[in-house]
Amino acid sequence: KAKELLSKLRRQIEVQLWSLRLFRHEPTLFHTLTNGESPRKDIPLLVTILDVAHEKFPNVFSSINDELFRERRKRAVASASRFLAISENSKLDFCKLFGVSKDKVDVTHLGVDLNTFGFEMDVSRQSQLRTEQALTRPFLLQVGGRLRHKNFTNLLFAFAEGNFSNQMDLICAGHPFGK
């Protein structure tokens, strides 16, 4: 109950702060992620959809915060003029689950900073990193989360049952397993 109350209070504070900022300028569009709402109803709302996991897997996302998330998303969808999805699959799932016309959803894939990640590593640096990280065999790098809807458990079963550990290592990046 306290989390729900704090969530509503936080939302009201955000609305007030955004209203103060928006009245200093004349915005033409309000863009938000997934479940936000425009503090001004006279500005078109553009909502980015990352996924619809909360709606597809309500048994996994069953806390009061998850329910509040779904309620906020419904309100955002009802008031949005247009949507961005990060993949064709997200677009199709979103349109199906929310009854939104495909014409109102554009796909814009997430980008990467090529200055940071767009380089080729020379063989000596690769060898140095492999030594530093004790990577002596080929490996599969898993970078997704370990929540149920990310299929991490299925990856572990497939890796074990397919006897892949004889051929390669499984390296998991992200949050430590203990958390």
pLDDT above 70 coverage of the chain, percent: 90
Identify the residue whose tokens are 């677009």: 91
Q: Which residues pair with 106 in a beta bridge?
A: 84
> Would you say residue 18 has pLDDT above 80?
no
* Mean pLDDT score of the chain: 85
Q: Under 8 Å CB-to-CB from 120, ≥6 apart: which residues?
A: none
Contact present, 51 and 69 (Cβ < 8 Å):
no
* pLDDT for 90: 95
Closest alpha carbon to 38 in 83, 98, 80, 86: 80
Q: How far apart are CA 109 and CA 88, in angstroms?
A: 9
Phi (first) and psi of residue 132, to 5 degrees = -60, -35
**Around Cβ 144, how many Cβ atoms within 10 Å?**
13
The string over 70-105, giving b where at least 16 C-beta atoms fall within 10 Å of a residue's C-beta and e elsewhere, is eebbeebbeebeebbbeeeebbebbbeebebeeeeb
Q: How far apart are CA 41 and CA 120, in angstroms?
A: 48
pLDDT above 90 coverage of the chain, percent: 40
> Would you say residue 67 has pLDDT above 70?
yes
Token code pair at residue 5: 């109350």
| Between 32 and 85, the higher pLDDT residue | 85
The tens digit of pLDDT for each residue in 130-177 reads: 899 899 999 998 887 777 667 788 888 898 888 888 899 998 887 777
